């Protein structure tokens, strides 16, 4: 049985005092990873994701965004 990522509400509870939002809440649903990263850099300092392949698909050397990948 494959584990599913935690629901956004649980992630939000794990970071009290910080702005935690989802792609959908930001109105960014349907954007590709490159677009999402560019948008996120304008608003956030840290991106928390369950997408383990994003670090291999995108170049983070010139990004100001910190990437945190978690597994369930």
Residue-wise pLDDT for 14-71, tens only, equals: 888 988 898 999 999 999 988 999 999 999 999 888 888 888 888 888 888 998 888 7
Q: Kindly list the domain boundaries of the chain, sorted by start residue.
A: 8-69
Do 57 and 37 meet the contact criterion of CB atoms below 8 Å apart? no
Alpha helices by DSSP H, listed for the chain, are 8-14, 33-43, 54-57
Spell 29-49 as b/e; 16+ CB within 10 A means b. Answer: eeeeeeebbeebeeebeebeb
**pTM, to two decimals:** 0.74
DSSP code at position 4: P
Q: Say how far apart CA 19 and CA 53 lie, in whole Å.
A: 24
């Amino acid at each position: 049985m494959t584990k599913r990522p935690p629901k956004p509400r649980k992630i939000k509870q794990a970071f009290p005092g910080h702005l935690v939002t989802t792609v959908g809440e930001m109105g960014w649903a349907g954007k590709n990873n490159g677009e999402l990263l560019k948008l996120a850099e304008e608003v956030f300092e840290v991106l928390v994701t369950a997408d383990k392949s994003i670090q291999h698909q995108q170049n983070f050397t010139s990004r100001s965004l910190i990437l945190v990948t978690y597994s369930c």
